[in-house]
Chain A
């Protein structure tokens, strides 16, 4: 999962395995969370989001789980494919003064081996 430091956490999996990427968020007042995927040389792309009134949300091959008690978010990717290799970021949305401010974690690098 994501952590403090200069080097990105890395998750290596075999093609076809399920992947779980973890994220700890900082603000208990955050009520909207998003996972992004960033491929080399590109900007982050939206994968899936979840609001704080939900514990789980499913998309196509992806599931996001939210545990507000411990301020933890996870992204599960089913049947991981080589095209899933990328850096994954979680983002929490905080409202310090009215408008949501999207704040990103440091990212996790997912490497899928064929």
Chain B
């Protein structure tokens, strides 16, 4: 099993550009999450999904959209990137309530 795979690993965007971050898991997990990690801030939840076709807002959802069309994939979109969105983005999944998260290795995004 590959676990949780994030693509791309690195990306540089100019302000106003758009992009989609892809998260794929091969563990048949129901729940998927997108976090951002900034220095000294820990991980903050952007959006999450409790199953295929569902999405919900987390702590910092503004400027992001998500889709969960297939159970194994969770996409994070930035429609108009801003420098404040420079961060490391982590995707995670879990199979049931009350179980730990499995994380990908992150996407480092820089917006200039």
A6: which B residues are within 8 A, CB to CB? Answer: 39-41
Which A residues from 49 to 89 make CB contacts under 8 A with B?
49, 51, 89
Does any Cβ of B come within 8 Å of A1's Cβ?
Answer: no
Given the complex of chains A and B, what is the CA–CA distance between A24 and B91 in angstroms?
25
B35: which A residues are within 8 A, CB to CB? Answer: 104
Does any Cβ of A come within 8 Å of B58's Cβ?
Answer: yes
Interface residues on A, range: 20 to 34
Does any Cβ of A come within 8 Å of B81's Cβ?
Answer: no
Q: In the complex the two chains form, is A46's CB within 8 Å of B42's CB?
A: no
Q: In the complex the two chains form, is A43's CB within 8 Å of B105's CB?
A: yes
Q: In the complex the two chains form, is B98's CB within 8 Å of A93's CB?
A: yes
Q: In the complex the two chains form, is A102's CB within 8 Å of B39's CB?
A: no
Q: In the complex the two chains form, is A43's CB within 8 Å of B103's CB?
A: yes
Q: How far is the CB of A2 from chain B (nearest CB, A)?
A: 8
Q: In the complex the two chains form, is A46's CB within 8 Å of B105's CB?
A: no
Q: How far is the CB of B49 from chain A (nearest CB, A)?
A: 10
Given the complex of chains A and B, what is the CA–CA distance between A41 and B39 in angstroms?
13
A45: which B residues are within 8 A, CB to CB? Answer: 103
Given the complex of chains A and B, what is the CA–CA distance between A46 and B90 in angstroms?
14
Using a CB–CB cutoff of 8 Å, the interface residues on chain B facing chain A are 4, 31, 33, 35, 39-45, 48, 50, 56, 58-59, 90, 92, 97-98, 100-106
Q: Which 3 A-B pairs have the closest CB atoms?
A: A43-B103, A6-B40, A46-B100
Using a CB–CB cutoff of 8 Å, the interface residues on chain A facing chain B are 5-8, 32, 34, 36, 41-46, 49, 51, 89, 91, 93, 99-107
